[in-house]
Structure 1
Amino acid sequence: MRIVTIFIVAMLVMVSCSRRAPAPDPVAPASGDAVREVLMGELVTYPKFGDADPHPWDGRRPQSYPIHGIDVSRWQGDIDWHTARAAGVSFAYMKATEGGDLHDPKFDDHRRGARAAGVPWGAYHYYYFCRPAEEQARWFIRHVPRDAMALPHVLDMEWTPYSKTCTLRPDGDTIRREASKFLAMLEAHYGRRPIVYTTVDFFRETGIGRLHGTEFWLRSVAGHPRTVYPGAYWTLWQYTGTGLVPGIKGKVDINVFRGSPEAWVRWSRGI
């Protein structure tokens, strides 16, 4: 009986050793990698948008950047967001508020439409220097909901010489101090620091570029930012105000993101 038992045990050991070990399960990508893969697959890069007043660019052309987007307000009216996205609109910034008492009447439609079409969106506030920064920040927060999928929002600071109610031109120290208050309030509320949109003359005359820890969206429709804003680091470049984009009636501002598609996905999602 003992010999038989030993023989049976030995046979079982041999059988178990002869079996192949199960193949390891494929390693699933980390959640962040999976998100990036999906978003990368949805991007339309290097779009070929039209322009009603094209500029003969010297040096690097905006069309050489892979990621393009638009900024819109009520003046663009109704937008076919699915068509715009399919044509290569990778992001959209939309006007939400102005000063302390104006809410763009198309903002909610634009926001919902862009989101439904899968276009990353962000909101911008057009700043006036006749109201305190805190008041304008509260006005923006009142009208722009939190959204985990939103881009960093935008503080639009430029001179307002054609305004009927406010043409003040404070000194640079005052402007930077007010901008810092506005940015801090929005960062505390939304969890991401806003970026600053500005123009050539405002940038030169106010020193707004010295704001610590701030990214910039620069308007430059007649030259590359590296020549128009020497030494400035930019994240977004608005290169035309006369763009022609499928899904949008009339002209629209078009912008590029500075980096690669991979960098865009990381930046836009904050990952």
Structure 2
Amino acid sequence: MRIGMRACAVAAMLAGLAACGSLAPPPPTQGAAVPMSPAPVAAPRFGDARPVLWRGPGPAAHPVHGIDISRYQTAIHWPTARDAGVSFAFIKATEGADRLDPAFARHWAEARAAGIPRGAYHFYYFCRSAEDQARWFITHVPKERGALAPVVDLEWNPHSPTCTWRPDPAHVRAEVLRFLDLLEAHYGQRPLIYTEPGFWQDNGLEQLRGEELWLRSVAAHPEEVYGRRGWTFWQYSGTGLVPGVQGQVDLNAFGGTIAQWRRWLAARSLR
């Protein structure tokens, strides 16, 4: 997975955070350097339109935070967001095999100009093959040195304009693995899986052992929702308020220390 190794192999090198329910990032491959010099990590100065009283360790226990965005975030002043604690961004690029987020190119360029590490994500539709969707994503997302590993977004979308089909769990898992393989072959990094509780449970995603996870859990710690399954990113709010970002935005925490964040960047950025 990470730099040509599967996640299960890398997981053996992880240290420190398993007891917290998060996935400690791997150390960098010997001789590897961070391809991009990210801005210093700033303590997040975020608000929330619908704050949660967290039981036990909440997002504030993690020092590295970021956002995920799409066309619905119409105006972002990236230097302001960076200085307010946005240390990474995941940007929506594509859906299925025929939809491109119209704000992707602008967000992609502006985040890089501000020195914010960013990656692209794909919303998966099951009405098109993994091959078609991988081809669509690759067509629109550059293989750019320093970009973060790509992400596949797995969730049901009953309001989709083109696909509301829900195949059986075995089909879902097989298609997802094929998509991950195709993108890994092109970008040299295996994508992360983003998902939410309903999709996770409906499709038995716990069976996808060794894949790197970004988990949505906006009312409880991920361990309460997904069990003691390691994670790298935690989406803890869909109603965040971030200086420099117009309107509400998704908030995310990285499951490690600042030093581990640097090592994760070294291991999981494109070359």
The letter of the residue matching 1:122 is G
Shift of 1:231: 2.3
Structure 1 residues 54 and 135, CA, compared in 2 at 3 Å: closer, same or farther? same
Whose Rg is larger? 1
Shift, 1:232, TM fit: 1.6
Displacement after TM superposition at 1:166 (Å): 1.6
Matched, 1:183 2:180: yes
Higher RCO, 1 or 2 (CA under 8 Å, sep at least 6)?
2
The answer to whether the 8 A contact 1:44-1:87 is kept is no
Secondary structure at 1:186 match in 2: helix
Output the aligned Cα RMSD: 1.7
Q: Deviations over 1:59-97 (max 9, x none)?
A: 111012000000000110121111111111000000000
In structure 2, stretches of 5+ residues that fail to align are: 1-29
Shift of 1:100: 0.7
3-state SS of the aligned residue for 2:136? helix
> How many residues of Structure 1 are paired with residues of Structure 2 in the alignment?
238
Secondary structure, aligned partner of 2:72: helix
Rounded Cα–Cα distance in structure 1 between residues aligned with 2:137 and 2:236: 26
4+ residue segments displaced more than 3 Å: 30-33
The aligned residue for residue 166 of structure 1 is: 163
Deviation of 1:189 after TM superposition, in Å, equals 0.4
Do the aligned partners of residues 32 and 250 (structure 1) sit closer, same or farther apart at CA in structure 2, a change above 3 Å counting?
same
Determine which of 109, 112, 127 is the counterpart of 2:109: 112
Secondary structure in 2 matching 1:193: coil
Q: 2:201 aligns with which of 181, 200, 204?
A: 204
Give TM-score, length-normalised by structure 1.
0.84
Q: Which has the higher helix share?
A: 1
Map of 2:229 onto structure 1: 232
In structure 2, the CA distance between the partners of 1:232 and 1:31, relative to structure 1 (3 Å rule), is closer
SS of corresponding position for 1:188: helix
> Partners of 1:164 and 1:96 in 2: how far apart?
17
Q: Is the 8 A contact 2:215 2:234 kept in 1?
A: yes
Contact 1:155 1:196 in 2 (8 A): yes
Identity level (%): 55
Q: Which stretches in structure 1 are left out of the alignment for 5+ residues?
A: 1-29
- Alpha-carbon distance between aligned partners in 2 of 1:254 and 1:206, rounded to the nearest angstrom: 25
Given that residues 48 and 63 in structure 1 are in contact (C-alpha distance below 8 angstroms), is that contact kept between their aligned partners in structure 2?
no
Deviation at 1:31, TM superposition (A): 7.2
TM-score, length of structure 2 as denominator length: 0.84
